[in-house]
Structures are given as C-alpha cells and as structure tokens.
Amino acid sequence: MENIGALAVLLAFCLAIYAIAGSVAGKLRRNLFLIVSAERAVYGVWFLVTVASAILVSALMTGDFRISYVAQHSNRAMPMVYKFTAWWGGQEGSLLFWSWLLSSYAAVVVFTNRHKHRDFMPYVVAILSAVQTFFLILNTFVVSPFQMLAVDKLITAVPDGNGLNPLLQYPAMAIHPPMLYLGYVGFVVPFAFAMGSLITRQPGDGWIHTTRRWTMVTWLFQSCGIVLGAGWAYHVLGWGGYWAWDPVENASLLPWLGGTAFLHSVMMQEKKGMMKVWNMVLVSATFFLCIFGTFLTRSGVVSSVHAFAQSPIGKFFVVFLALGIAATIYLILDRLHYLKSESQLESVVSRESSFLFNNLVLLASCFAVLWGTLFPVISEAVSGEKISLDKEWFNQLMIPIGLFLLFLTGVGPLFAWRRTSSDSLRRNFMWPGAGALLLVIALLAAGMRNFYALISFGFCLFVAITIALEFYKGSKSISAKSEMNLARAMLELTHRNTRRYGGYLVHMGIVLMFIGFTGGAFNITRVDDMKTGESVRIGSYQLTVNAVHEGENDNYMWQSAAIGVVKNGKSLGVMEPESRVYKASRQPTHEVAIRQRPNEDLYINFAGVNGDRATVQSYVFPLVSWIWIGALTLIFGTLVALVPSKVKREYARTQVVGITRKHVAVEK
C-alpha cells in the first residue's frame, strides 16, 4: 500500500507540472483543448493526493508500524481521533496535509469558475499548480511520508510507536493546525487570481470580487487558528499566558496582519478605484508571508520553544520564496501603468485616509513583528552576534500600535468618504467622545493609574459606542420608514448590507478582545511551597491546601492537590490541579484548575511536591475571558459578512437587465 501512496504522490507531481505547462501553452496558442485538459489535471492531482493521504491515514489508524512516520507519531494506546490527527502531527504528514488542502482548494476554484473568467483562468490554474508542484516536490523527494523502517535492507516493524505528545492530545490542539493551514493555504487563491489578472492585463477588479469570499473565509480560518493556539496555551501549558511573541506564534500572526490590511484596502479599490498597486503588493505579501510562516516553523532558522525538524527543507523554501517574490515584483513593475489610480485623496479627515492609516499601521506592525522575529538572524549577519529581542520589546512596540488601530476602528466609520465637514465631525464625535472621557475619569477616580490600560478602556468604550450608534441610527430610520420594531429593523439593516454591519460586528469582537488583553495589566501571580493545611491570599481569594493525592492508571501517573478556595468569607468549593507523567513518552504535563468568570479567572497550577510541601502557582487574570468572547463575536461577525446582502442581490438583478437591454440595442 505504501508503494501505491508514494506512487500517487509522484504521479500527482507529474500531473501538476502538466497542469502548469498545459494551461500556459493552451492560453498562448489559444488551444481550448489544452486548457481544459490542464483543468482536468487539477482534479487529477486532487484525486491522487487524496489517495496518498487516505493510505497514510489508514496506516496511522491501523497502526502499520513499518512506516517510519506512523511509528514516530502514533501508538496503539492512542484514541482513534488522535490517530487521525497524527496526519498533521509531524513534519512529513503535515506537508502532505498542506498539499491535500491546496489541491482541494484548487479543485474547488477550477470547478466554481468553469464558466467564468475564461481569459485569465489558465494563469490562475498555472499559478495554483506551480505552488502545488513545490509542495509535491517536498512530498516526493525530500520528506516523503511513506519512508519505511528498515534494518539491513529488510523492512521491519517496531512493536509500538512513540505516540503523539500528550500535550497535543487536547481537542483545541487537534483542530488548531488544520485551521491555521486552511488559512495559510487559502491565501494562494486570491494571490493566484491577482497574478492571473495582472498577467493578462485585466482592466477591472474582477479578481477582487471573485476572491472576496475566499479572502474572508481564509482570514476567518486564520483568526480561529490563532485564537485556538492561544486558548490551548492558556488552558494546557500551565504558564498562564496565551501569547509570548514566540517565533512560531509570530509566524501565524504575520499573514493575519497582512490579510487584515488587504481586507480593508480592497474596499478602497472597489469604491474608489484607488490603491490598485498597493492591493497587488498586499495580496502577494500576504501569500509569501504564509509560505514564510510555514518555512519559519519548519526550518529551525530561529530557535523557539517549539521544536523544529532539522531537515533540509529550509533551502527549498528559500529558493521558492526568492523565485516567487522576484517574479511577482517583476510582474507588478512591468504592468504598473495598468494599475493607475482612478481618484485621488482629498482630505486628511476622510474615510479614505482612515483606510490609508489603517493600512500603514497594520503593515508597520507586520514589519515590526517580522523584524523582531528575524532579529537573531539579522544581527548575526550584520555583527556576527546572535541577539534576540524578547517579549518586552514586542509589547513596548505592539501595545501602542494596537491602541492606535483600535482608535482608527472607532473613527473610521465616523469619517465620510472624500472629506468630512467639521460640523458632522462634532456631531459624530460627541457621544462616543464624551462616554470615553467619562469612563477614563471614573477609572482615574477609582484609583487606576496604568496609562495604557486607561487609554485602552477609553478607546474600547469609544469604539463600542460608535458601533452601537451606527446600528441604532440605521435601524431607527428603517423602523420609521417601514413601521418595524427596532430589533427587526436592526436585522433588516444588517441583512441589507451584511458586509458593512458584519464588519462592525467583527470590530466589536476586536474591542472585546482588547478588553481582555488590557486585563493583563492587572494580573496577579504568586508561587508558594505550602504544607497541608497552610493557606495563602491572592487577590480576594484565600487558598488552602487540603490534601495531596496520588495514583496511576494505564496511561499516566498523577499527583493532585485539593485546594479549598474561599472568597470574602464564602467558600467556593475545592479546585484540584493535577500534575501527570505519561508513561509511554515520560512527558510530564500539568492539568491546571481554572475558575472562569467574566470579571476574572482564578488559575491554579500544581507544580509538584517539594519535600513535604506542595508547590502551588496561583494567578488571578482579570477579564481574560473577554478574549474568547471577543473571538466568538469576531467569528459571528465574519459569518454575517459572508451572507449575501439583500440589497446587493437586487442590484445584481438590475445589472443583468441592463446588459440584456444593451444586447438588444446592438441587435437592432
């Protein structure tokens, strides 16, 4: 079976090359047969990669320990679901997974556009297939998942595999990688469309309309992936944080920042025909950041808490990135005059300029994160000394950037397109501004002195009021016109322009997440070695170690501390953090106990026993739950924005009528 798998990957590689050659040649020689055959080849690639993946997955599920990948990443005792997720649990498998996702995306693109964009689809197919070819080279020649274990040329099986790291045997972690991959891989599609339209010198922005949904879905997957990763770190790793500016985390953030900038700046092109070059640059940059992120997490260029394979694939990525970036730059420069802006900026106080600054700041933050992540490499190249920048550097820079972006989120909708009169500015700013100011004064009076926290809370309220007012004003005018109640009118309003109001909901999600981030300024931490019966105070909680238990089962040995929690004289029950050692992998893990409430989390980690004392790490994290609530709001908002607008649909219909009429006129 494994030979069939390896063969399938090899054949897929050949077919992908054919797809590139066929579609380019077909386009140049105007040979429809070639073009269609290249599109069929895309389906063929999908079929072959699916076969290969199915063989690998079934080997994982049945425990075929002759295959080295299976022996390394699964074992007999693992639950079925984690045997399946071992598909993307290791280097070779995850790259095959990448290929499979890419081929699926490509097949969907070819299918949904089989009657559309005939003039530049061949190039889209060629670009998708080129990326596919690159990954299939890795799958076939560099890190094949079908490597067998052998002793003296004799294929052998090991009795049991190493198993998946127990830290990763956690539901959020099982779906975190596929989410991120879906997001990473998905940006290939807008990129391919952008390049296709650039190569064929398309005048309009058809590529943007076609890929708008793709971009949003992809962005949604990336957001989910990042938040799931953060949630996993918080709930499982036991250090109480959710983000540490680790290179691997940064790798996932970079394309997200680029994608966010792109989602905003395409609106400028759609509405005003501006920033065409910029959009090309952004979509390319985002795509290459996705590839770069994959490279960063696998090549070991920058050391990180996450382990990396010491494999030769780094070189391949560098070559691919270099070629791709060079080709893109050449294309954009060569066709610069096709990307002329149709209108100009008129005023600093306008919607356009708020988009512009949003982009500037997002890009700046993207660059800053990239700089910080690669600084060890850069400094080694420049001065010979490997220097790393740590968490504080990132925070120092990213907190002001984040706050400025939050501020723009609020003022953007208040500015009109083109220019804003000072009168309307005063009117629009009055309520949000007054509300934010009052909140800051109240917080100051309550004794809060943290500068950034004050600003952040002020901005959060400012943006929240702005968004609420947008919804209120719009639905009030609808309810007045069509005699609906306000709630119905709000639904109607959202349905009429899902993109705009869905976007506001996403902004609301961001505001809620910022509330959660800001809570981090007031974290309380303590570590104590406590005898049974001893107690400590943290925040308003009184923690007492009641007992320490220990035991073992088939899978792991464990110790747990029963800690009684009392708040303001009222007992809140017993929390039982646990520490385990898994027998198969000798991996210690900590099962933290968390009491989650909207205002604050009490988070207790049991680090182990030290003599006759239990080492207890306790934390109070104010407002941290709002990050997860905000993330859910963000997902909901994005889904709303994906629903077709009611008004748009009607608009599309009138457009069709217009075309027929023109057609009739021509016939006459």
Partner 1 sequence: MKKYGKFAVLVVVIVGTLIWLATAGMKDTQTYYKTIAELNHMGDQAYVKRLRVGGDVGAGSINRKGNVVEFILVQEKLNLKVAYDGSEPLPDTFRVGAQALADGRMGRDGVFHASKVQAKCASKYEAKPGGGRPVTPPTYPSKAVS
378 closest CA partner among 392, 388, 393, 391: 388
Among 368, 536, 572, 642, binds partner 1 (CB under 8 A): 368
CA–CA–CA angle 102, 108, 112 (5° rounding)? 150
Between 529 and 534, name the residue whose CB sits nearer to partner 1.
529
Which regions of 540-664 does DSSP assign to beta strands (E)? 541-552, 556-567, 570-575, 578-582, 588-591, 593-596, 600-610, 613-622
CA triple 309-320-335, angle to 5 deg: 150
- Between the CA of residue 92 and those of 99, 297, 319, 540, what are the distances in Å? 11, 13, 19, 49
Which residue has tokens 């000072």? 422
Decide if residue 387 touches partner 1 (CB under 8 A).
yes
Considering only residues 565 through 604, tell me which ones interact with partner 1, judged by CB under 8 A: 579, 581, 583, 585-590
- The encoded tokens of residue 532 equal 């049974």
Q: Applying CB under 8 A, which of residues 3, 31, 343, 396 lies at the interface with partner 1?
A: 396
- Distance (Å, rounded) from C-alpha 578 to C-alpha 590? 6
Q: Is the Cβ–Cβ distance between 537 and 574 less than 8 Å?
A: no
User: In angstroms, what CA-CA distances link 164 with 62, 428, 657?
Assistant: 15, 55, 59
Nearest by Cα to 320 from 278, 287, 281, 366: 287
Which of 1, 389, 453, 635 touches partner 1 (CB under 8 A)? 389
Query: Distances in Å between the alpha carbon of 534 and those of 544, 563, 582, 608, 612?
Result: 6, 10, 29, 16, 12
Please, which of residues 168-187 interact with partner 1 by CB under 8 A? 168
Which of residues 29, 306, 418, 531 is near partner 1 by CB under 8 A?
A: 306
Least distance (Å) between residue 377 CB and partner 1 = 11
- Which of 43, 357, 429, 636 binds partner 1 (CB under 8 A)? It is 357
The DSSP symbol for 414 reads G
Query: Which one of 43, 84, 170, 393 is in contact with partner 1 (CB under 8 A)?
Result: 393
What is the C-alpha end-to-end distance of the chain, expressed in Å? 65
Q: For residues 25 and 167, which CB has a smaller minimum distance to partner 1 in the complex? A: 167
274 belongs to the binding site for partner 1 (CB under 8 A): no
Residue 367 Cβ vs partner 1, minimum distance, rounded to whole Å: 9
The nearest distance, CB 218 to partner 1, in angstroms, is 22
- Give me the least distance between CB of 409 and partner 1, in Å please: 16
Measured between alpha carbons, how far is 50 from 286 in angstroms, rounded to an integer?
27
User: By C-beta, is 350 or 497 nearer to partner 1?
Assistant: 350
Taken as a whole, the chain contains a residue count of 668
Answer yes or no whether residue 615 interacts with partner 1 by CB under 8 A.
yes
Which residue in 392, 483, 554, 667 binds partner 1 (CB under 8 A)? 392
124-153 positions binding partner 1, by CB under 8 A: 149
> Which distant-in-sequence residues (6+ apart) come within 8 Å of 104 by Cβ?
46
Smallest distance, partner 1 to C-beta of residue 180, A = 12
Nearer to partner 1, 222 or 589 (CB): 589
Reading the block at residue 478, the tokens are 């609808």
Coil, helix or strand for 589? strand
Binder among 10, 61, 157, 364 for partner 1 (CB under 8 A): 364
Please choose, out of 270-278, 388-396, 498-506, 625-633, the segment that lies near partner 1 by the rule CB under 8 A: 388-396
Q: Which is nearer to partner 1, 140 or 605 (CB)?
A: 605
The burial class, CB within 10 Å (0-12 / 13-18 / 19+), for 526 is: middle
- Quote the tokens at residue 283: 């979509």
Selected binder of partner 1 within 7, 10, 318, 401 (CB under 8 A): 401
Task: Find the shortest distance in angstroms from Cβ 243 to partner 1.
Answer: 14
Contact between 194 and 339 under an 8 Å Cβ cutoff? The reply is no
235 binds partner 1 (CB under 8 A): no
Q: Residue 583 gets which letter from DSSP?
A: T
Task: Give 74 or 428: the residue with its C-beta nearer to partner 1.
Answer: 74
Contact region for partner 1 (CB under 8 A) — 253-261, 503-511, 611-619, 647-655?
611-619
Work out how close the CB of 159 gets to partner 1 at its nearest, in angstroms, rounded to a whole number: 11
Q: Is 400 in the site for partner 1 (CB under 8 A)?
A: yes
Nearer to partner 1, 329 or 387 (CB): 387
Please list every residue from 450 through 489 that binds partner 1, using CB under 8 A: none
Q: State which of residues 104, 113, 341, 388 lies at the interface with partner 1 (CB under 8 A).
A: 388
Between 148 and 189, name the residue whose CB sits nearer to partner 1: 148
Reading the block at residue 231, the tokens are 């949630």
Nearer of residues 337 and 586 to partner 1, judged by Cβ: 586
State which residue, 90 or 519, has the beta carbon closest to partner 1: 90
Nearest CA-CA partner of 513 in 222, 177, 227, 180: 227
Residues 6+ away with beta carbon under 8 Å from 325: 284, 288
Q: State which of residues 157, 397, 443, 635 lies at the interface with partner 1 (CB under 8 A).
A: 397
Task: Name the phi and psi angles at 617, rounded to 5.
Answer: -105, 120
* 468 contacts: CB under 8 Å, gap ≥ 6: none
- Per CB under 8 A, the list member of 361, 362, 506, 593 interacting with partner 1 is 361
Give yes or no for residue 555 binding partner 1 (CB under 8 A): no
User: In terms of CB distance, is 342 or 392 closer to partner 1?
Assistant: 392
Choosing from 183, 238, 503, 577, the residue that interacts with partner 1 (CB under 8 A) is 238
Q: Which stretch binds partner 1 (CB under 8 A): 259-267, 347-355, 458-466, 535-543?
A: 347-355
Give the one residue of 303, 343, 482, 599 binding partner 1; rule: CB under 8 A. 303
Instruction: Report the residue number, 356 or 515, with the smaller CB distance to partner 1.
Output: 356
Helix (H) or strand (E) holding 91: helix 91-112
Question: What H or E segment, with its residue span, contains residue 81?
Answer: helix 80-85
Q: Which is nearer to partner 1, 161 or 519 (CB)?
A: 161
Identified binder of partner 1 from the candidate list 77, 360, 430, 444, rule CB under 8 A: 360
- Scanning 53-61, 271-279, 397-405, 453-461 for contacts with partner 1 by CB under 8 A, the matching segment is 397-405
Alpha-carbon distances of 290 from 98, 285, 296, 311, 345, rounded to whole Å = 12, 9, 10, 20, 31
Taking the least distance from each CB to partner 1, the nearer of 4 and 305 is 305
Query: Which among 425, 403, 430 is positioned nearest to 414, based on CA atoms?
Result: 425
- Nearest approach, Cβ of residue 364 and partner 1 (Å): 5
Radius of gyration of the chain (CA): 28
Residue 378: both structure tokens together: 């850069």
CA–CA distance, 197 with 177 (Å, rounded to integer): 31
- Residue in 36, 54, 167, 331 binding partner 1, rule: CB under 8 A: 167
307 sits near partner 1 (criterion: CB under 8 A): yes
Of the pair 348, 442, the CB lying nearest partner 1 is at: 348
Q: How far apart are CA 315 and CA 149, in angstroms?
A: 26
In whole angstroms, give the CA distance from residue 440 to residue 8.
63
Indicate whether 420 belongs to the interface with partner 1 (CB under 8 A): no
Applying the rule CB under 8 A, the residues between 486 and 525 that interact with partner 1 are 525
Q: Which of residues 5-64 bind partner 1 (CB under 8 A)?
A: none
